[in-house]
Amino acid sequence: MIVTHTTTNALGCNDMSLTLVGSTNLTFDLDLKKDTPTLWSADQVATVAAWTDGYQLVSEQKMIADGTANAESGTCFGLNHPQNFGAFCHTVLSTSTATTIAAGGHKVRWLAAGWWQSNTQYTPAFGLLCEIDNCGLTLYPEATSEVLLGAAADAKFTASIFLPTEAINYSLYPRF
């Protein structure tokens, strides 16, 4: 199953598509993560397999303008108002060169309702930083080193996270 929602230039934000992808063979799909380019370990595959049933959320953004030097660019998304329900924020951090993504500057964070100052303001230092073990995170570009022109107008960046198995209560972040 694939469901996609796309927004374009809403209030000067990056163009964004959000896609929900379901797996019919979770073991096979997670085993692929052990191959290039993601290179997950067998332990990481087992950890993610223990808490997901295979649904992934894929966020792809296209910069509508060059980034801002030493600042984050990106989009937050969630079920409703972030102050009430929390939201994921998918961002890239520019270096002093506005069009370059900083090393380690491509991130996804879950910000629970209490970390929001309003429905549009949050504190970037807070929140759960998504990684392989807690979100099944895959990033492109990975930005393990600086990415020249990665934050330039028309550049694209993508993140994929696995969603938790459906439940009544969730320990980290909810299922969409």
DSSP string across the chain: -EEEEEE-SGGGPPEEEEEEE--S-HHHHHHHTTSTTT---HHHHHHHHHHEEEEEEEEEEE-SS---TT-EEEEEE-SS-HHHH-EEEEEEEE-SSTTSEEEEEEEEEEE-GGGBSSSS-B-TTSSEE--HHHH--EEES--SS-BTTTTSTT-EEEEEEEEEPP-SS-SSS---
Per-residue pLDDT at 14:
86
Q: Contact 78/58 with Cβ under 8 angstroms?
A: no
Nearest to 113 by CA among 76, 58, 59: 76
Per-residue pLDDT at 169:
78
pLDDT tens digits, residue range 89-119?
A: 999 999 999 999 999 999 999 888 887 776 6
What's the sign of the alpha-carbon dihedral 121, 82, 164, 18? negative
Per-residue pLDDT at 153:
95
pLDDT string in tens for the chain (176-residue length) = 455 555 555 456 788 999 999 999 999 999 888 886 778 999 999 999 999 999 999 999 999 999 999 998 988 888 777 877 888 999 999 999 999 999 999 999 988 888 777 666 666 667 889 999 899 999 999 989 999 999 999 999 999 999 988 877 777 777 77
Phi, psi of 89 (to 5 degrees): -120, 120
Per-residue pLDDT at 8:
52
Under 8 Å CB-to-CB from 128, ≥6 apart: which residues?
109, 110, 111, 112, 134, 135, 172, 173
Per-residue pLDDT at 1:
44
pLDDT tens digits, residue range 135-152?
A: 999 999 998 999 999 999
Under 8 Å CB-to-CB from 120, ≥6 apart: which residues?
none
Tokens of residue 34, six digits: 């052990």
